[in-house]
């Protein structure tokens, strides 16, 4: 079999199919990384727009109990009311800097009778029990709070808790516990409260502004897909040379390649000798 006829055999059709499949997978992974980057950039845009912006009244940001748009994440809102400390909850399994701990949720009853859930911060797990050693008391009486909005969390199958501890910040479940009109669209990560207590749980920190390595990963996957076709072409060319080894023209080209390699080897050797002579 001479010329390129071998390239149209079932074997090489299989190689081509595998190469195409590999390239499609690489393109899919690259596209997925670009989508991940778009999500990261969207999250950064929310942080830039909302985290340090001036607070707005809660009623303006969330006109209804179920109101919340993802673009409002990290938006600062101001609310005034009274903490329902008897209904305070602890959210389990909340690590901070690899340390296990809890988040403290204290419902706040507003002037219109509705309840907004305030996440007052993080506390470490106690030394001798699966709960914080001490939970700083929330201020009594009328309190003005500035907090950053965040969507509630879904319930997780198999995650349970008892007493005043909960597994996730499932606002619908919390509303059922309280049996009062409760905001279920979002809750608030406390930024400040007035009057300020002498002690409070660890406040949330501004997220690190980092879009991640998604763009470089996407580029790598696309390059891998292209390299697959380059590798297929190289293998095809190598087999062509093997199949047509007795062809005069191919033999002449093979001899020319051998001469070039020999010339380059001699040139490299001369260069090394010259370098040694200079030393």
In order along its 279 residues, the chain shows pLDDT tens digits of 467 888 888 999 999 999 999 999 999 999 999 999 999 999 999 999 999 999 999 999 999 999 999 999 999 999 999 999 999 999 999 999 889 999 999 999 999 999 999 999 999 998 888 889 899 999 999 999 999 999 999 987 777 677 889 989 999 999 999 989 999 999 999 999 999 998 999 998 888 888 999 999 999 999 999 999 999 999 998 888 888 777 666 666 666 666 777 676 656 555 555 555 555
pLDDT for the residue numbered 130:
84
| Cis upstream peptide for 195 (omega within 30°) | yes
pLDDT for the residue numbered 111:
93
pLDDT for the residue numbered 4:
82
Overall number of domains in the chain: 2
pLDDT for the residue numbered 269:
53
Query: Residue 65: left if φ>0, alpha if ψ -120 to 50, beta else—which one?
Result: alpha
Same domain, 60 and 185: yes
* Residues of the domain holding 258: 5-34+212-278
pLDDT for the residue numbered 131:
87
214-243 and 248-278 helices, crossing angle to 10°: 120
Q: Is residue 222 part of a domain?
A: yes
Bridge partners of 101, per DSSP, are 124
pLDDT for the residue numbered 188:
97
pLDDT for the residue numbered 109:
97
Same domain, 188 and 65: yes
CB 184 within 8 A of CB 87: no
pLDDT for the residue numbered 264:
66
Same domain, 256 and 188: no
pLDDT for the residue numbered 200:
92
Q: Is residue 30 part of a domain?
A: yes
Q: Is residue 17 part of a domain?
A: yes
Same domain, 14 and 74: no
Backbone angles phi, psi at 165, to 5 degrees: -105, 145
Q: Is residue 39 part of a domain?
A: no
């Amino acid at each position: 079999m001479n010329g390129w006829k071998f390239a149209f055999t079932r074997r090489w059709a299989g190689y081509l199919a595998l190469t195409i499949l590999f390239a499609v997978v690489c393109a899919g992974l690259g596209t997925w990384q670009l989508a991940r980057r778009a999500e990261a950039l969207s999250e950064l845009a929310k942080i830039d727009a909302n985290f340090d912006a001036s607070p707005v009244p809660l009623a303006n940001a969330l006109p209804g109990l179920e109101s919340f748009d993802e673009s409002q994440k990290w938006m600062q809102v101001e609310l005034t009311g009274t903490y329902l400390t008897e209904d305070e909850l602890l959210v389990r399994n909340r690590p901070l800097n690899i340390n296990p701990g809890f988040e403290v949720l204290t419902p706040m009853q507003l002037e219109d009778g509705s309840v907004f859930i305030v996440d007052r911060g993080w506390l470490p797990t106690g030394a001798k029990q699966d709960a914080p050693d001490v939970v700083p008391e929330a201020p009594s009486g009328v309190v003005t709070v500035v907090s950053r909005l965040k969507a509630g969390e879904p319930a997780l199958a198999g995650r349970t808790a008892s007493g005043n501890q909960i597994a996730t910040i499932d606002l619908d479940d919390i509303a059922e516990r309280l049996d009062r009109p409760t905001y279920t669209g979002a809750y608030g990560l406390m930024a400040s409260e007035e009057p300020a207590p002498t002690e409070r749980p660890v406040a949330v920190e501004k997220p690190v502004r980092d879009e991640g390595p998604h763009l470089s990963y996407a580029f790598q996957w696309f390059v891998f897909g292209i390299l697959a076709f380059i590798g297929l072409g190289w293998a095809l060319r190598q087999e062509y040379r093997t199949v047509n080894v007795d062809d005069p023209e191919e033999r002449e080209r093979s001899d020319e390649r051998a001469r070039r390699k020999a010339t380059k080897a001699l040139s490299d050797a001369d260069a090394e000798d010259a370098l040694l002579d200079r030393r």
